[in-house]
């Protein structure tokens, strides 16, 4: 299955995981098999996003310079991108109208990377030393 064919499935799995938290058992808790399946799908997306980002020389250099880095991945659907572009136009304006993924690498200095999973590319990246986007 190609990435273009996988993308709707991946987005659907993320949406299900985000909004429903998996299947609910009789006692009101998520079934463990369903929960593990959704976690596995989310982990696969995360791994793919990280692998795409690591192909960018600036990202691989950051990882080499900061072996103790931490990261957070955020899905950015088109509606969120529109909102963010109003507040942070340099970072979020003129991006593809598709769900993108933002990786915020931190370890003293930081690196913000925006990945287009569907096209397997890094769209933008910025060093974020001393910058807070909150």
CB count within 10 Å of CB 132 equals 6
- pLDDT on residue 12: 42
pLDDT, tens digit (0-9, with 9 covering 90-100), for 50-90: 999 999 999 999 989 888 889 999 999 999 999 999 999 99
Helices 32-54 and 3-20: crossing angle in degrees, nearest 10, is: 130
Give the pLDDT band of residue 114 (cuts 50, 70, 90).
Answer: very high
How far apart, in whole angstroms, are the C-alpha atoms of residue 100 and residue 102? 7
- pLDDT on residue 32: 58
- pLDDT on residue 47: 93
- pLDDT on residue 24: 42
In the chain, what are the domain boundaries?
A: 3-127
**Cβ-count burial of 115 within 10 angstroms (0-12 exposed, 13-18 middle, 19+ buried)?**
buried
- pLDDT on residue 67: 82
Residue 3 has pLDDT above 90, yes or no: no
Mean pLDDT calculated for residue range 15-25: 41
Residue 46 has pLDDT above 70, yes or no: yes
CA angle, 56 as apex, 52 and 58 as ends, to 5°? 140
Task: For residue 67, give the 3-state DSSP assignment.
Answer: coil
- pLDDT on residue 94: 94
Task: Look over the chain and give the mean of its residue pLDDT values, rounded to a whole number.
Answer: 78
Whether 71 and 37 have beta carbons less than 8 Å apart is answered as no
């Amino acid at each position: 299955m190609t990435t273009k064919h996988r993308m709707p499935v991946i987005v659907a799995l993320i949406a299900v995981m985000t909004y429903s938290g998996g299947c609910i058992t009789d006692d009101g808790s998520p079934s463990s098999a369903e929960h593990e399946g959704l976690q596995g799908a989310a982990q696969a997306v995360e791994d793919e996003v990280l692998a795409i980002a690591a192909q960018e020389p600036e990202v691989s250099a950051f990882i080499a310079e900061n072996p103790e880095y931490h990261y957070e991945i955020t899905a950015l659907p088109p509606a969120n991108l529109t909102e963010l572009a109003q507040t942070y136009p340099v970072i979020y304006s003129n991006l593809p109208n598709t769900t993108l993924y933002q990786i915020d690498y931190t370890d003293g200095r930081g690196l913000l990377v925006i990945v287009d999973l569907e096209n397997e590319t890094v769209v933008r990246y910025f060093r974020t030393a001393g910058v807070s986007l909150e």
